[in-house]
Chain A
């Protein structure tokens, strides 16, 4: 009993220690709680006589007190306490059981009991504190005795214990709470009880996360998070408090009960498990597979006798649940599965796990050749030996474990002046202060949030416990450092913070659960497939190899629901605002000045919107600028990888080693894509998985010579003409910096406008400069190394490299900085391809045949060599090119090759590009088999490249002449103005769904650029022209327009039926158009500001018809071009080529261009030989035509109209697709 008292007293102490809000009140409350605790607890529930349990709970509470105090002491002396930390949330082990796999612990456990507290400095202080507190309490006890009665209401605010025992609504069930026999005996009986109330199944069975309300999502995430952070009693408490209130009980779903049950099962805590089960029954729910998995696991841990288990299994089969499914449909870790199996074996010793299905192979017709076992295969190997690759893996692992990368900035280093050193020193001092302050605020917040949970409310407490406090603080400081001078919108910042927390948490969890070691083992084996000096018996694709290694699929961490993300981010941002302060004048060295916040929450007014922005103090910005710190910090996922990425094996595993990466990038919070990918048969994704793996496996290196030149320009004053942005200091300055106070208001107004203009330019320059700085710093960081760019795709299957700042998708400069790390000898034709590539890059000979381009290259060889030798001092021929930096890189490569004694043996690293000419129209023309259109986009073999823009311009000119003869004034005005340039943009974008309105604006822009065109006619002329362009396209691509129209119309009708458009690409990737009516959620209230965000993931929202219909044609074409690219990639891989792509621009080594070209054409023909539109029509009919037909007449009519439209596939023309194979300029 002494322990119990102790616990109470200490509980009071703890509350008194709560360092938040108004301390006086809290202290009083706490002590009151301590004083009249016994009375209350005895009145709470008669079951509390259970001595044993009481002790436990008092115990827990005591531990909590100790922890609170430890935290406080920690804040005072951080270093001292790290070794011994009282870990509390865990209940003392009870019963036998092997303890099971305790979820990972962050720190070594110190004392689990109260007595063996080590006698270190803080412990002594703790002891002393306790003594004093007890004395105070005794005194107060006397004083307060009188008031207690009157204030008893107040106590309700403060529930004393974490609740364990549920309050059940059903009397019958409540009998089970006072068992005559052991808890183990109870279990099967409880299971046999029928659910109490019959609830409407509709309201209670949300199948997906997206269908839960925001509050429910938050609760579920809370329970899951408690399991991760060892706060199971808290989770149980919240579950019980919610269950005991009718209104709140409605929020609870079976998933939530199951989660808590699983937690108890892992600990082998039988009584609590039964409690949860009772609540499940009480709530009128029927246990499902997950519940049984938890129950069996618990029994497995406790070594339960066979009889009970048998009754459970019997009950299970009575409810129609299959034993096999326990092991296939329920996500369990290997250890958990073993425990469940142990329990099952007691009853059915012969039961064996369902056999692992043999690796399925994709059977799609298009991919058959890729996965064929026979036939010639020569998968490429990397050029690096196993040893090197393994050490690279170590490096990448270190980077990802640290979650961040520090990179030296390439900005010209500031001279080490007195000013700079002073600024750096000031900054360092400030950061030290902030670190301490943040630590303190974080602890305060955590304490406060914990209290919230005790009061039975949802709070972010477990989420804040996921990461080590120091890590959180470091993360916040890092964000503060990177905050732009003009501030960042609060919502964006909140998202960023929660995303970073999540990814750090995932990394940490893998580290603690031993997954990293497993990864290391398997990855080392995997490298045998790729390394240059190893051989594997059966060469296969990386994914197949990885799967064959039998790596267990890591349990995936679900991203948190959006409401939790926003709330957590907001909480973190608020802590940052609250904790960081600085002296009002930084120059003042005496330090006596007032402290002001570093971050300010200001509002920006855009039309009617009011946007909250966090803005740093201008003095702080100035300080950062003066200090000019030489390092930049990147998140690990923003930097290219140092070892080959993990092969993609499922929609959520692949790319980075530890950091979570999604296969399909989507807008924040949209879960529909991920769900679609998860539910489709795994083999359907193989094409995409393998293509992405292959793109990511290409090794890169930095082109050092080009980087030197770019850096030289960058550190001087930049050169905007060549795409090297100038520093903001080069921005135009207002003519007059200051006007006298006495100047006329009008003069001042003028100056202000000029000033604003200059500032705007400066800001734009600054952001361009920052972008270049990141890119170049990363390039410099990676110089001399080999690196990889992991890929993923967007929702249409287009592929993108994951690292955002430095990749091959970027501008001319970015592309010129990259080359293949692996070289290939040029071979007989490689040099010619290099030269042609060079001419292509200049853009000088776009409409000449290849041999003329080659001849031109010979002609200007002098200039090429000059450019290569003295790029900055010579004739600077390369600067006139369309893509100057890539041209320069190519000039250097050509120069090296021609100077080589045997050019054919020259090892080239430069990627050579082959571009689709108006790729969207190529796909349309092939779909519709348009003869004229096909010829104009080079599907038809021809001696010279065809130019569709000129073709359209010519057609427009024909129409114009006719109109002019008829006397149309505009047509006459436009004589001589219709050029390729005027129509180009419109033609290009027509494929991507540009409307007449948008087209007119584009043409208007072009016409305005023409100086000699009478400007007053621009509107009329553009209006006229856009009609003619559309008409011409209609004439040339008749099939195209029909298909476009058919797609648009189908999407419109589908959308009208209330569905969003879905389809499957020829490779099997399921696609869904995410456009829905925006649904504004005002979610997070209170605090600095309330956050409103639009939620796109909500699948209950109606589709946005306009976007659905305008988006379908271009998205569908994109899904085709991505299919073509993936097919080409896979076949090139089979042939041993290095292949990467920028959408419709394919890259490979000069020596392999011919092979790639052949593959590319063959695959295009293969792709379009499939009945693509018929397949689409069939799919859409089966997906969207309701069967049976709906009851309402109006719907009936709509449905029949939809079916009719969907089945009316446009008829193709007469173009012979096979001819593409012989077209030189199809991709060139």
Chain B
């Protein structure tokens, strides 16, 4: 996918053109330190030294990224962009949703989306792209807004001061004029983006906590998320007892919470990969090569309208999470064994109520079974103490 980079800011263009041996100058990681300097020095000697991108010293990155696998991927192919725009915007006759695009980067997809008639808010975490993105929306009278923001660091769970590109959802949505809608109402807005190549799992967990607790972005309603996700994590996310090797806590959490649809599949190689220093072209590193052979899946995750219809609520979701973590902590065990550490109620009786046998294994339970199990215990009437859980058992 090699496209003209006319619209790119100076710094990026330079690095993109710099040629072989130039990847990963800033993206240093512990694993890279040993062999990379040599490569770099050689690379510098070959190409003209003045082409080095000027690192931005005014705003030094607070935390150096841990690994050189910390890539950003951008859609740079126009045809792909058009396809995606069609998928995401849906049928043309519907009133278009407000669309949050995460990390649009060079803005190829943004253009396509705008052409498809969507109203786009571009949340870009990399400041260097912002001037270019802003230039895209010049004549569109407000159909495009660009904000310096990292979608995955909205309302960080660690607490503390929030500095851009981290943001508070309250401020962001107020700024955009998005109103809170009840859970049972329709989808208030859509998000399009890609999970960060590293930490897909972390991002999924954060979103899951936000979703179940109706906080952060989900405070505003059932926000639909369209994201590209790596093959491995995708398979795990969609796994169930039929595919028990990959079945784990997040599979249950997400399948219970959302309807998950696969919208599109695209090989890694269709995207441009940028490290911190710029575009990644060819590499000999094994991990990277392996990654490049995988596919990315565009999935749509729409929170279920009836998620909180029964006794699972934002009040007790953490117990549900604890139940799942407990069960998958020893997944080969029977459910009844786990229940005995989770609730003082009669475990056999509960299993009978949900129509499961006493020797049911954890990995044989479908996501909805877990939800039913939880709700059965939660709504059992005759007992004051339903759970052994308390907040001290969790560090969130």
Q: Could you list which residues of chain A lie within 8 angstroms of chain B, going by C-beta atoms?
A: 486-487, 584-585, 594, 596-597, 600-607, 610, 613, 615, 617-619, 739, 744-746, 748-749, 751-753, 755-756, 759-760, 763
In the assembled complex, B329 has its CB within 8 A of some CB on chain A: yes
**15 new A-B pairs (CB below 8 Å) besides A600-B344, A617-B344, A748-B314?**
A486-B390, A487-B392, A602-B341, A602-B342, A603-B341, A604-B393, A605-B325, A605-B393, A605-B395, A618-B388, A619-B344, A746-B214, A748-B214, A752-B213, A752-B315
Q: Say whether A744 contacts B341, CB under 8 Å.
A: no
Per the bound structure, the CA–CA distance linking A367 and B125 in Å amounts to 68
- Which residue of chain A has the shortest Cβ distance to B341 in the bound complex? A602
Q: How far is the CB of A576 from chain B (nearest CB, A)?
A: 16
Per the bound structure, the CA–CA distance linking A603 and B321 in Å amounts to 12
The 8 Å CB contact of B388, one of A602, A755, A763, is A602
The 8 closest A-B pairs by CB, nearest first: A749-B314, A749-B214, A604-B393, A618-B385, A486-B392, A745-B214, A746-B214, A748-B314
- Which residue of chain A has the shortest Cβ distance to B311 in the bound complex? A741
- Which residue of chain A has the shortest Cβ distance to B212 in the bound complex? A749
In the assembled complex, B346 has its CB within 8 A of some CB on chain A: yes
In the assembled complex, B215 has its CB within 8 A of some CB on chain A: yes
A-chain residues with CB within 8 Å of residue B342 when the two chains form the complex: 602
Instruction: Encode B100-120 as 1/0 by CB contact (under 8 A) with A.
Output: 000000000000000000000
Q: Say whether B388 contacts A584, CB under 8 Å.
A: no
B-chain residues with CB within 8 Å of residue A486 when the two chains form the complex: 390, 392
Given the known A-B contacts A603-B329, A604-B394, are A748 and B313 also in contact in the complex, defined by CB atoms under 8 Å?
yes
What would be 10 A-B contacts, judged by CB atoms less than 8 Å apart?
A: A597-B340, A602-B326, A604-B393, A605-B325, A613-B393, A745-B183, A745-B214, A745-B308, A749-B315, A760-B391
Q: How far is the CB of A746 from chain B (nearest CB, A)?
A: 5
Instruction: Encode B350-391 as 1/0 by CB contact (under 8 A) with A.
Output: 000000000000000000000000000000000111001111
Interface residues on B, range: 20 to 34
Q: How far is the CB of B326 from chain A (nearest CB, A)?
A: 6
Q: Say whether B314 contacts A746, CB under 8 Å.
A: yes
Per the bound structure, the CA–CA distance linking A601 and B389 in Å amounts to 11
B-chain residues with CB within 8 Å of residue A760 when the two chains form the complex: 391
Q: Say whether B315 contacts A602, CB under 8 Å.
A: no
A-chain residues with CB within 8 Å of residue B183 when the two chains form the complex: 744-746
- Which residue of chain A has the shortest Cβ distance to B330 in the bound complex? A603
Given the known A-B contacts A602-B393, A618-B388, A759-B391, are A745 and B341 also in contact in the complex, defined by CB atoms under 8 Å?
no
Per the bound structure, the CA–CA distance linking A610 and B393 in Å amounts to 10
In the assembled complex, B182 has its CB within 8 A of some CB on chain A: yes
Q: Say whether A746 contacts B180, CB under 8 Å.
A: yes
Given the known A-B contacts A602-B326, A748-B313, are A756 and B393 also in contact in the complex, defined by CB atoms under 8 Å?
no
B-chain residues with CB within 8 Å of residue A606 when the two chains form the complex: 395
- Which residue of chain B has the shortest Cβ distance to A584 in the bound complex? B344
In the assembled complex, B148 has its CB within 8 A of some CB on chain A: no
Within 8 A of A (CB), among B169-198: 180, 182-183
B-chain residues with CB within 8 Å of residue A594 when the two chains form the complex: 346
Q: Say whether B213 contacts A617, CB under 8 Å.
A: no
Q: How far is the CB of A745 from chain B (nearest CB, A)?
A: 5
Q: Say whether A618 contacts B344, CB under 8 Å.
A: yes
Q: How far is the CB of A598 from chain B (nearest CB, A)?
A: 10
Per the bound structure, the CA–CA distance linking A585 and B384 in Å amounts to 9
- Which residue of chain B has the shortest Cβ distance to A1008 in the bound complex? B161
A-chain residues with CB within 8 Å of residue B180 when the two chains form the complex: 746
- Which residue of chain A has the shortest Cβ distance to B394 in the bound complex? A605
- Which residue of chain B has the shortest Cβ distance to A615 in the bound complex? B388
A-chain residues with CB within 8 Å of residue B394 when the two chains form the complex: 604-605
B-chain residues with CB within 8 Å of residue A584 when the two chains form the complex: 344, 346, 383
Interface of B is mostly: loop
In the assembled complex, B322 has its CB within 8 A of some CB on chain A: yes
Per the bound structure, the CA–CA distance linking A617 and B383 in Å amounts to 13
Q: How far is the CB of A81 from chain B (nearest CB, A)?
A: 36
Interface of A is mostly: mixed
Per the bound structure, the CA–CA distance linking A756 and B389 in Å amounts to 13
In the assembled complex, B13 has its CB within 8 A of some CB on chain A: no
Given the known A-B contacts A600-B340, A600-B341, A619-B344, are A745 and B314 also in contact in the complex, defined by CB atoms under 8 Å?
yes
Per the bound structure, the CA–CA distance linking A658 and B180 in Å amounts to 69
Per the bound structure, the CA–CA distance linking A610 and B340 in Å amounts to 17
Q: Say whether B182 contacts A744, CB under 8 Å.
A: yes
Q: How far is the CB of B178 from chain A (nearest CB, A)?
A: 14
Q: How far is the CB of B393 from chain A (nearest CB, A)?
A: 4
B-chain residues with CB within 8 Å of residue A601 when the two chains form the complex: 341
A-chain residues with CB within 8 Å of residue B385 when the two chains form the complex: 617-619
- Which residue of chain B has the shortest Cβ distance to A602 in the bound complex? B341
Q: Say whether B391 contacts A596, CB under 8 Å.
A: no
In the assembled complex, B219 has its CB within 8 A of some CB on chain A: yes
Q: How far is the CB of B384 from chain A (nearest CB, A)?
A: 7
Within 8 A of A (CB), among B323-341: 325-326, 329, 340-341
Given the known A-B contacts A600-B341, A749-B214, are A756 and B391 also in contact in the complex, defined by CB atoms under 8 Å?
yes
Per the bound structure, the CA–CA distance linking A600 and B347 in Å amounts to 13
B-chain residues with CB within 8 Å of residue A744 when the two chains form the complex: 182-183
B-chain residues with CB within 8 Å of residue A763 when the two chains form the complex: 392
- Which residue of chain A has the shortest Cβ distance to B316 in the bound complex? A752
A-chain residues with CB within 8 Å of residue B326 when the two chains form the complex: 602-603
Per the bound structure, the CA–CA distance linking A619 and B386 in Å amounts to 11
- Which residue of chain A has the shortest Cβ distance to B346 in the bound complex? A594
Q: Say whether A751 contacts B315, CB under 8 Å.
A: yes
B-chain residues with CB within 8 Å of residue A619 when the two chains form the complex: 344, 384-385
Q: Counting chain B CB atoms within 10 Å of each CB, which of A597, A618, A619, A756 scores highest?
A: A618
- Which residue of chain B has the shortest Cβ distance to A610 in the bound complex? B329
- Which residue of chain A has the shortest Cβ distance to B386 in the bound complex? A618
B-chain residues with CB within 8 Å of residue A487 when the two chains form the complex: 392
Per the bound structure, the CA–CA distance linking A746 and B392 in Å amounts to 23
Q: How far is the CB of A748 from chain B (nearest CB, A)?
A: 5
- Which residue of chain B has the shortest Cβ distance to A585 in the bound complex? B383
Q: Say whether A745 contacts B313, CB under 8 Å.
A: yes
Q: Counting chain B CB atoms within 10 Å of each CB, which of A619, A745, A755 scores highest?
A: A745
B-chain residues with CB within 8 Å of residue A755 when the two chains form the complex: 315
B-chain residues with CB within 8 Å of residue A610 when the two chains form the complex: 329
Per the bound structure, the CA–CA distance linking A613 and B342 in Å amounts to 12
Per the bound structure, the CA–CA distance linking A486 and B340 in Å amounts to 17
Q: Say whether B219 contacts A604, CB under 8 Å.
A: no
The 8 Å CB contact of B219, one of A603, A613, A746, is A746
- Which residue of chain B has the shortest Cβ distance to A621 in the bound complex? B385
A-chain residues with CB within 8 Å of residue B215 when the two chains form the complex: 749, 753
- Which residue of chain A has the shortest Cβ distance to B182 in the bound complex? A744
Q: How far is the CB of A642 from chain B (nearest CB, A)?
A: 37
Given the known A-B contacts A600-B340, A602-B326, are A749 and B213 also in contact in the complex, defined by CB atoms under 8 Å?
yes
Per the bound structure, the CA–CA distance linking A1030 and B316 in Å amounts to 50
Per the bound structure, the CA–CA distance linking A615 and B322 in Å amounts to 15
- Which residue of chain B has the shortest Cβ distance to A1015 in the bound complex? B161
Given the known A-B contacts A602-B341, A602-B342, are A748 and B315 also in contact in the complex, defined by CB atoms under 8 Å?
yes
Per the bound structure, the CA–CA distance linking A486 and B385 in Å amounts to 14
Q: How far is the CB of B181 from chain A (nearest CB, A)?
A: 10
A-chain residues with CB within 8 Å of residue B383 when the two chains form the complex: 584-585
Q: How far is the CB of A594 from chain B (nearest CB, A)?
A: 6
- Which residue of chain A has the shortest Cβ distance to B392 in the bound complex? A486
- Which residue of chain B has the shortest Cβ distance to A582 in the bound complex? B344
B-chain residues with CB within 8 Å of residue A600 when the two chains form the complex: 340-341, 344, 388
B-chain residues with CB within 8 Å of residue A751 when the two chains form the complex: 315
Q: Counting chain A CB atoms within 10 Å of each CB, which of B182, B391, B393 scores highest?
A: B393
Q: How far is the CB of B67 from chain A (nearest CB, A)?
A: 17
Q: How far is the CB of B185 from chain A (nearest CB, A)?
A: 11
- Which residue of chain A has the shortest Cβ distance to B393 in the bound complex? A604
Per the bound structure, the CA–CA distance linking A749 and B182 in Å amounts to 13
- Which residue of chain B has the shortest Cβ distance to A484 in the bound complex? B392
Q: Say whether B395 contacts A607, CB under 8 Å.
A: yes
- Which residue of chain A has the shortest Cβ distance to B310 in the bound complex? A741
B-chain residues with CB within 8 Å of residue A596 when the two chains form the complex: 344
A-chain residues with CB within 8 Å of residue B325 when the two chains form the complex: 603, 605
Per the bound structure, the CA–CA distance linking A933 and B220 in Å amounts to 61
Per the bound structure, the CA–CA distance linking A756 and B395 in Å amounts to 12
B-chain residues with CB within 8 Å of residue A615 when the two chains form the complex: 388
